[in-house]
Amino acid sequence: MLTLFDYAETCLHRGHRDELLHLTHEAKSKLDSGELTTSSNTKPLPITLVTFPAQPVWVAPRLVPKRKLTAKGGSAAFFHAIGHIEFVAIYLAWDILYRFRGLPNAFYQDWLRIADEEAQHFELISKHLQTLGIDYGDLPAHGGLWELAEQTADNLLARLALVPRCMEAHGLDVTPGLIEKFKQLDDNTSISILQRILTDEVGHVERGSFWFKYVCEQQQLNPETEYRRLLSDYYQGGKPKGPFNREMRIIAGFSNAELDWLEAQSL
């Protein structure tokens, strides 16, 4: 029987976009039907061997084109950037389940479901980009999200704190405002895509919160204290930036004390 980790290793190291999407959906189906096992005697390959497709070209964040939504090509540039985030998020979900072993089966089921949903998001955006006259990969993108994966490759708590509970949680803060901008443009297709992503991302962040607290309990650590410590140690770029969507973050597993601390840090 193939293992989930066999699928993960292929998805992370082949660098083929269509194959990644196909195998992600296939693995989800097979795990759900009991055709995959989550046990393995092999060790994960180093994160430095993870391979991405040749396109888009990755550049420094300052070199990624920024255009107003109302400018020519603005919507295409925006959705290319969002598509890149969703594409890297597929890798992030695969990597967390591939790299960290010995956890309950539910951990691997959760992160494979998240990988599958991120793949669905990417496919929605890819189709939308084609209606806007470009394909994913036509514009440059940056690797900030993946840099966090590399920095936390040996620390599950740091990965959970920095990726789902920081970078992905930021999407809960900003996406409602982006939806409002597209409402002003009467762009129902874009609204529908962003609403779907926002709905799913609440669940992704919640799973990050759940497993962060689980691992803290296993290690006899205080989750709120550990979250503050890890963000202080790992967060790049100064301080987390508000305003924070308290309502959605509470649903996604944040405590009021964590949100109070984040707000105080962002002043």
CA distances for 186 relative to 116, 180, 190, angstroms: 29, 10, 9
**Residue for token digits 């992160």?**
111
Going from the C-alpha of 163 to that of each of 152, 153, 156, 180, 231, the distances in angstroms are: 9, 12, 10, 25, 10
Cα 131 versus chain centre, distance: 25
What local confidence, expressed as pLDDT, does residue 238 receive? 66
Contact 265, 234 (CB under 8 A): no
pLDDT tens readout for residues 9-67: 999 999 999 999 999 999 999 999 999 999 888 899 999 999 999 999 999 888 787 77
DSSP letters spanning 101-134: -S--HHHHHHHHHHHHHHHHHHHHHHHHHHHTT-
Report the domain count for the chain: 1
Residue 1: what pLDDT?
A: 56
Which CATH number fits the domain that encloses residue 123?
A: 1.20.1260
% of the chain with per-residue pLDDT over 90: 87
Pair of tokens at residue 218: 């296993």
Tokens representing 21 are 């999407």
Q: pLDDT tens digits for 223-239?
A: 999 999 999 898 876 67
- pLDDT for res 65: 74
Which domain does 208 fall in, by range?
4-50+59-265
Provide the token pair at 223: 């989750």
Q: Where are the alpha helices (DSSP H) in 17-168?
A: 17-32, 74-99, 105-131, 144-151, 156-162
Q: Residue range 121-139: average pLDDT?
A: 97
- Could you tell me the pTM of the whole model? 0.96
User: Which residue has better confidence, 140 or 71?
Assistant: 140
Residue whose token pair is 């092999």:
42
Q: For the residues 91-117, what does the mean pLDDT come to?
A: 97
Q: How far apart are CA 13 and CA 29, in angstroms?
A: 21
Asked whether the predicted pLDDT for residue 200 surpasses 90, the reply is yes
**DSSP-assigned beta bridge partners for residue 58:** 141
If you average pLDDT over residues 147-176, what whole number do you get?
A: 96
